[in-house]
Amino acid sequence: MTTSRRTVITAGAAAGLAAAAAGATPADANSGGRAVREHFGTLKDGTRVDRWTIENGRTRLKVLSYGGIVQTLEIPDRHGHRANVSLGFADLDSYVAHSPYFGALIGRYGNRIARGTFTLNGHKYRLPVNDGPNSLHGGDKGFDKHVWSVKPFHKGADVGLTLRRVSPDGEMGYPGTLTVRVDYTLTAAGDFRIDYEATTDKPTVVNLTNHTYFNLAGEGTGTVYDHRLRIAASRYTPVDKTLIPTGELAKVAGTPFDFRRAKEIGRDIREAHPQVLYAQGYDHNFVLDKGVTHRPENIVTVTEPGSGRVMKIATTEPGVQFYSGNFLTGTFAGTSGHVYRQSDGFCLETQHFPDSPNHPDFPSTVLRPGQTYRSSTVHSFSTR
Ligand code: GLA
């Protein structure tokens, strides 16, 4: 990995730009944080991949232009010690070779579409099948495997990155040219906010999310079994053996899926419930009690007792995929050189429900010309 010229932008502008011109790394801006660009690697076809570092409050975030990947997310523990709480890799080649969507932007359609087909306006569309009989996370070359254009921004005391890409009509079988913008923002309080926006020139389906795997004790420190998780969902969408929703909205009450009161992730993960067996743990969409909302509303609290780190998630989305890292099987090492094993991280992917295009009674994922797709998710960090 080589580091070439660094571009530095600070909110306090003058001081930071002067420091950049002098070739120095600037001190933290007094307010509004900062953004730094460096060369991260080069793809086989010669495309350059950048890594951006943004910092605000006590939070530091590193993002790759490849896949919009959240490479590292550093937040303090109860003693103020920062650690990276996001699983990933130290180099580009590992992301390209075998990343299970670590930190990536997922599109056009997060999670599965049954047998890779759906019908819209009487036309049947076929998508590449890349997960057993189904299409997963936008097909074999989803948004996570493209290089995005990235530009830093400052808005008041916030610092952020705007990521853009245009997905051509027919890409991975999906109709319509989709113009996508994603803003990653760190607020002055150190919260991490993601805002998605998309427009199309033909009717299509859209379901964007981010696939960060968290371990609030620190990346590479072992399993997340003792993290306490609360999800404000009374129902979830049970799946068949290929992890496609059956269409039922089942009650969580009396099942391992009841996270309405905080409990350890590991508490019921070995229960012989058929749904847990299908997924080898949790890999399910929770139907959020609040439904679709215009503003992000709180849906999740995760607490790691050892470090005291607490993450709250608020979203506009009607669902969240809770995935307990079941397919991490000890076959590669992550950012800090430790081998990842089952449940060494968890994902909470805010979303519309999996396979919605084939379930007319699920909240719609159809986007038509003239409409704007919008979705927002906020991760807030504190300690106790
Ligand atoms: C999602 C899916 C899982 C799995 C992971 C990536 O969370 O629901 O089944 O594919 O992505 O490994």
Nearest CA to ligand 1 atom 6: 100
Spatial separation of the C-alpha atoms in residues 236 and 234, rounded to whole Å: 7
Q: Is 245 near ligand 1, meaning CB less than 6 Å away?
A: no
Q: What is the separation of C-alpha 96 from the centre of its chain, rounded to a whole number of angstroms?
A: 17
Is there an atom of ligand 1 within 6 Å of 285 CB? no
111 CB-near residues (< 8 Å, 6+ apart): 136, 137, 207, 285, 321, 349, 351, 354, 355
Q: Residue 94: enclosing H or E segment and its boundaries?
A: helix 92-98
Q: Is 349 in the active site?
A: yes
> Does residue 126 sit in helix, strand or coil?
strand
- The low-confidence residues of the chain, meaning pLDDT below 70, are 1-32
- Would you state the pLDDT for residue 33? 75
| Nearest protein Cα to ligand 1, atom 12 | 100
> Which is the closest atom of ligand 1 to the Cα of 101?
6
Structure tokens at 35: 């953004």
Question: At 214, is the secondary structure helix, strand, or coil?
Answer: strand
Give distance in angstroms: CA of 323 to centre of ligand 1.
7
Q: What is the pTM of this model?
A: 0.93
Answer whether 321 contacts ligand 1 (Cβ < 6 A).
yes
Beta carbons of 163 and 88 less than 8 angstroms apart = no
Kindly give the distance from the C-alpha atom of residue 270 to the centroid of ligand 1, in angstroms, as a whole number. Answer: 19
Pocket test for ligand 1, best of 95, 105, 111, 353 (most atoms within 8 A of CB): 111
Cβ–ligand 1 contact at 327 (below 6 Å) = yes
Determine the Cα angle at 292 with ends 187 and 178, to 5°.
Answer: 75
Catalytic entry in 154, 211, 284, 352:
211
Comparing CA positions, the residue from 355, 267, 368, 346 lying closest to residue 87 is 346
Q: Is 211 part of the annotated catalytic residue set? A: yes
Query: H helices within 127-273, ranges in order?
Result: none
> What per-residue confidence (pLDDT) applies to 34?
83
Side by side, the strands of the sheet bearing 319-323 are: 213-214, 346-351, 319-323, 283-287, 235-237, 250-251
154 CA → ligand 1 middle, Å: 33
List the CATH code of the domain at 7-383.
Answer: 2.70.98.10
From 213, 327, 344, give the residue whose CB has the most ligand 1 atoms within 8 Å, as the site to mutate: 327
Atom 3 (ligand 1): residue with closest C-alpha?
A: 283
- 355 CB near ligand 1 (under 6 Å): no
* Beta-ladder partners of 163: 150, 182
Q: What are phi and psi of 173, to 5 degrees?
A: 85, -5
User: What digits encode the pLDDT tens for the residues 245-279?
Assistant: 999 999 999 999 999 999 999 999 999 999 999 99
As a residue count, the chain comes to: 384
Q: Which two tokens stand for residue 78?
A: 């109860």
